[in-house]
A and B are shown apart, each in its own frame.
Chain A
C-alpha cells in the first residue's frame, strides 16, 4: 500500500478499496481465526475491522504502515470480541514459564564420550520433493499444527512465517519485543517441525 493508494481510498475509489480488501483478507482472516471459535465469527471480526478502518481513515497519520495499522485494529477487535484484554498480557505471564525443549532430551546421550549428542540419525529432509512440501495433505498438517499452538506462539508464527512479516512489523501489531518474539517463534517452529516429522516418518510404536 502506497500513499497513492491511501489517497485513492480517502477519495472513495472503489477499485482501490476492493484491491486492498482482497490483498489483506488472508492475513486478517488468519489472525481473526486465532481468537474466534468459528470461521463465521472470524469473518464478523474482519467486517468490524474494516468498519473501524473506514471510521479511522481520515485520522490515520501514517506513523505505521497501513497494513500494520489495519492488523492492529483487527487484533484489538478480535481480542475484545473474544473477551480478552485488548492489550498484550505481560509476556512472562503467558508462556515463558516451564521447561521447554525443541527436541526431546531422550534423543540425546547423557553419558559416554559424547554427552549431549544425538543417539540416532536425524531424518534427512534435503531430498524432500517440492510437490510433497506443497501437497494438500502436508499443508493440512501444517495448518493443524499451527492451530494447536498456544495463542501468542500462534500469533507470532502466523505473522512471521506464514505471512512473512518482519520482526519490526510484528512488534507494531502485537507489541511483543524482538527477544520475546524469538522465544515464541522458536517454540512454535519447533512444535510444527516435530509434527511434520511425525507425519513424514511416523514414530515407531513399541
Chain B
C-alpha cells in the first residue's frame, strides 16, 4: 500500500469527508491517522470547524420586512387566486 505524507494528507480532508477518494488513497489515510497525532488532531480540527459552521445562528426576519412581504402576498393573491 502507498504511504502518505502529512503535508499531502491535509489537502485530502475535504475529499475524504465528501467520500470522493479512491479506495487506495482512503486506505492510506486510514492507515496514517492512528500513528500520527498531528494529522489526527488536524482532521478533528476540520470536523470541529464544520460543526462550528453548522451552529451559526439563524437570522430571524425583521418584523418590518415580514409585514412588507405579507402585503406583497395579499396583493398577489387578490390578483391571482380565483375564488
Binding site for B on A (CB under 8 A): 10-12, 14, 17-18, 21-22, 25-26, 29-30, 43, 46-47, 50-51, 54-55, 57-58, 101-103, 105, 108, 115-118, 121-126, 128, 133-134, 138-139, 142-143, 146, 157, 161-162, 164, 167, 178-179, 182, 185-186, 189-190, 192-193, 196-197
Contact = CB atoms under 8 A, between A and B. Distances in A.
Contact of A54 (B18, B36, B57, B76): B76
Contacts of A18: 66, 70
Q: Which of A57, A122, A146, A197 is packed against the most chain B CB atoms within 10 Å? A: A122
A116 B8 contact: yes
A155 to B, nearest CB: 14
A43 B64 CA distance: 10
A58 B69 CA distance: 18
B32 to A, nearest CB: 10
Interface residues of B, number: 47
Contacts of B60: 22, 25-26
A189 B58 contact: no
B65 A43 contact: yes
Given A117-B5, A122-B37, A50 B72 contact: yes
Determine the main DSSP class of B at the interface with A: helix
Contacts of B6: 108, 116-118
B13 to A, nearest CB: 7
Determine the main DSSP class of A at the interface with B: helix
